[in-house]
Amino acid sequence: MPPKILQCVQHPGGVRRGFAQRVSTYFQVTADMTAEETFAREIVPLRNIRDNNEKIILTLDKVTLGNYDGIRIIHLLDWLLTQ
């Protein structure tokens, strides 16, 4: 079984009670998630992270887009055009 790879990006958050906080966003990238096994392989590692940081899966397929338990699945090109 290949290792699970997650990319976590930290960026400046806001200021809370005088302390600067950092916010992390977790990214998972896959070409296609239409197969049930692939969907599970990509989403399970993010579901296992028990924090309130944003979790995003970027994909090239347009079938599985949406929000699954707070994990956003976004088409890669749409995400790139909004950045």
Q: Using pLDDT thresholds of 50, 70 and 90, give the confidence band for residue 83.
A: confident
C-alpha 75/C-alpha 23 separation (Å) is 23
pLDDT in tens, 14-30: 444 445 556 688 999 99
Would you state the pLDDT for residue 50?
87
Would you state the pLDDT for residue 72?
96
Q: C-alpha angle 83/40/38, rounded to 5°?
A: 75
- Is the pLDDT reported for residue 1 higher than 50? no
Q: What rounded mean pLDDT belongs to the chain?
A: 81
Would you state the pLDDT for residue 15?
44
DSSP label of 63: S
